[in-house]
Amino acid sequence: MPFVVLRDIYPFFRFGMFATPVQQAHYTERYDFYVKVAELHDWQLVPVQVLYLDESFFHYLMRRELAAGRADSLLQHLLKVYAKRRLPAISQAILLQWRLMPNGSLDSIVVAYADKELYK
Amino acid sequence: MQIKSYISKHLLSYLGGVLLLDLVLLCVYAFWLRPEVSSFLQNGSDHWLRPWVALFYPRFFSEYNRFSDAYFLQLADQVLVRLLLAQLVLLLCWLFSKHTTVSWAEDGLKYARFYIRCFALIGLLYAYDWIYSFYRLSFHASYYDPLSFLVLFPSFSFGWLVSLWVFWLLSSLYCLWRARGSLLPALLFIVLQAYLYSFGKLDHTYAPYTYVCLLIPFYERSLHQPVVGTALSWLQSMRWAIALCYVQAGLEKLMLGGWGWLDATHLRTYLWVHQRPAGLWLIEHSPSHLLLVFSLLVMLWQLSFIGVLWRRWRWLFLLGGVLFHLVNYIFLGIGWYWHSYVWCYVFFLNPRELGRWLRLYFE
């Protein structure tokens, strides 16, 4: 059934991973979480494992929430988890989308931003 | 002549009925549903198909920015093509099963305790890892959305999952010790996995073991039944289910990617997405035709994995499988020996053969 209807019907699976034709896609994306620590000026990449996420789940969540127009609330959620880790306080945070085009060019877009005011 | 004898009048009338139903479906799709799908793709916000798409293909809403309408229309067409293909495969399997006796299914009776113990051991191997997964997910509980039957279960909470996990652990240990009682750990695995996937992302990391969980209680039960052949066919069903995981992965690549696989961009993009040092090195240093050959080899190997069901060929596919998961681990950071697919290979072996291999290795 999952093979025919093109979706998982738990506990039966569809095996579509790595099958999506990237040539037909306008772009293929991946996401990163960057923060600016209060005392420092440079942006730092935060490994998503620090936020109790694995990479594939983080990318899935980002893609889904971005499509639903909820990237800002996802960033707020990630900041709350970050705060629980007792890591250095941050002044700004962004979620960055990298887009790889079929011709090999790469660009990036800030899809969510939070500063001190928004970080509650 | 032999085939003709199997295609009895009864089968012919059944096939005629299915063919007629297919023809009706084809007409309904071509003349009514396909134009409706087209219209939904062009101006879908208020279209009556929108809730149906949300129900049957929720990925559409996160993918429609990335793909053209033609791609989604092709997916809709494929549902019908896949239905016809599945029917054809079922028919061929039926004919094949009438003509082939699978001699090595005899392991199913002789080594039943070994297979049940292997099932319990694989469960235990993942047990420690999952409790950490649940701990991490507990920080993201606001994104919990119960999957299928989980609506009937308590909501996601770390305490509840620890309780289930402890039961899973104990029941797996009992199963390992006594070589029986596979039903409870099998059910608990499926329930716990459902919790793991109730955050939207569902992948096939544990698919072969899940199918083993669905079948092994029937296998164990059939061992105590007077009809000898039943246990053999349950073991053989597990082997089919494991092999078909690979074949379906290959089929998806073939059907979705199509000729796209004859282009190095495909593998290059996936290597970039996974950002592993070896993968990034390969993008930089490998000529395009080498990436193309890798892609084709993977697809052909997955499609041919059904060959593992033939006793004399299985070593080729099992060793190929270990190599495949090793390469995936090096370049994409997925799997290797810890991958549940590799552990499920034990259902294609028997303890005598395994002992011989281990002796060769250590002596």
pLDDT value, residue B363: 60
How would residue A68 be classed by pLDDT, with cut points 50, 70 and 90?
Answer: confident
pLDDT value, residue B224: 76
Contact B252 A52 (CB under 8 A): no
Task: Tell me: pLDDT of A13 over 90.
Answer: no
Tokens of A119: 């970080």
Residue B333, by phi and psi: left (phi above 0), alpha (psi -120 to 50) or beta? left
Closest CA to B292 of B260, B328, B258, B262: B262
- Highest mean pLDDT: which range of B25-29, B157-161, B198-202: B157-161
Q: Are strands A28-37 and A43-45 parallel, antiparallel or unpaired?
A: antiparallel
pLDDT value, residue B256: 80
Q: Is A108 on the interface with B (CB under 8 A)?
A: no
- Highest mean pLDDT: which range of A69-73, B20-24, B190-194, B282-286: B190-194
**Sign of the CA dihedral B337, B340, B342, B346?**
positive
pLDDT value, residue B283: 83
How would residue B47 be classed by pLDDT, with cut points 50, 70 and 90?
Answer: confident
How confident is the model over B62-78, as a mean pLDDT? 80
Distance (Å, rounded) from C-alpha B155 to C-alpha B165?
15
User: What is the nearest CA distance from B359 to chain A, expressed in angstroms?
Assistant: 37
| Among A103-112, B116-125, B221-230, B279-288, the least confident range | B221-230
Between CA A14 and CA A25, with CA A20 as vertex, the angle to 5 degrees is: 150
pLDDT > 90: what percent of chain A?
0
pLDDT value, residue B17: 77
pLDDT value, residue B221: 84
- Highest mean pLDDT: which range of B2-11, B25-34, B124-133, B134-143: B134-143
Tokens of B287: 């000529």
How confident is the model over B222-227, as a mean pLDDT? 72
Closest CA to B260 of A19, A37, A47: A19
B-chain residue closest to A100, CA distance: B269
Distance (Å, rounded) from C-alpha A54 to C-alpha B157?
19
Task: Tell me: pLDDT of A92 over 90.
Answer: no
pLDDT value, residue B280: 86
> In the block, which residue shows the tokens 């002789």?
B110
pLDDT value, residue B361: 64
CB B156 within 8 A of CB B137: yes
Closest CA to B203 of A2, A15, A4: A15
Q: Across chain A, where does the E strand assignment appear?
A: 28-37, 43-45, 90-100, 106-115
Residue B329, by phi and psi: left (phi above 0), alpha (psi -120 to 50) or beta? alpha
CB B139 within 8 A of CB B151: no
> Could you check whether the bond before residue A11 is cis, i.e. omega within 30 degrees of 0?
yes
How would residue B337 be classed by pLDDT, with cut points 50, 70 and 90?
Answer: low
Task: Tell me: pLDDT of B229 over 70.
Answer: no
A-chain residue closest to B255, CA distance: A19
Most B-contacting residue of A5, A8, A15 (CB-CB within 10 A), to test interface: A15
Stated length of chain B = 363
pLDDT value, residue B3: 53
Distance (Å, rounded) from C-alpha B268 to C-alpha A104?
9
The chain-wide mean pLDDT, for chain B, equals 82
CB B325 within 8 A of CB B337: yes
Core vs surface per residue B256-293: b (16+ CB within 10 A) or e: bbeebbebbbbbbbbbbbbebeebeebbeebeeeebbe
Q: Is A22 on the interface with B (CB under 8 A)?
A: yes
pLDDT value, residue B167: 92
How would residue B93 be classed by pLDDT, with cut points 50, 70 and 90?
Answer: confident
pLDDT value, residue B112: 81
pLDDT value, residue B171: 93
At B150-192, the pLDDT tens digits run: 888 888 889 899 999 999 999 999 998 988 888 999 999 999 9
At B246-258, the pLDDT tens digits run: 988 888 888 887 7
- The alpha-carbon radius of gyration of chain A (Å, integer) is 17
How would residue B101 be classed by pLDDT, with cut points 50, 70 and 90?
Answer: low
> In the block, which residue shows the tokens 């939207």?
B200
Helix H or strand E segment including B187: helix B183-196
Task: Tell me: pLDDT of B104 over 70.
Answer: no
How confident is the model over B84-108, as a mean pLDDT? 68
B-chain residue closest to A67, CA distance: B62
Distance (Å, rounded) from C-alpha B86 to C-alpha B83?
5
The chain-wide mean pLDDT, for chain A, equals 80
Which chain A residues have a beta carbon less than 8 Å from that of B86? 3-4
- DSSP letter (8 states) at residue A36: E
Helix H or strand E segment including A61: helix A55-67
HSE-CB of B33 using CA atoms within 13 angstroms: 14
pLDDT value, residue B94: 72
Task: Tell me: pLDDT of A101 over 70.
Answer: yes
How would residue B360 be classed by pLDDT, with cut points 50, 70 and 90?
Answer: low
Q: Give the residues across from A98 on adjacent strands.
A: A30, A108
How would residue B310 be classed by pLDDT, with cut points 50, 70 and 90?
Answer: confident
Task: Tell me: pLDDT of B78 over 80.
Answer: yes
Most A-contacting residue of B87, B129, B139 (CB-CB within 10 A), to test interface: B139
Distance (Å, rounded) from C-alpha B40 to C-alpha B53?
10
How confident is the model over A34-42, as a mean pLDDT? 79
Task: Tell me: pLDDT of A24 over 60.
Answer: yes
CB B158 within 8 A of CB B134: yes
Percent helix, strand and coil across chain A, each to the nearest 5:
30, 30, 40
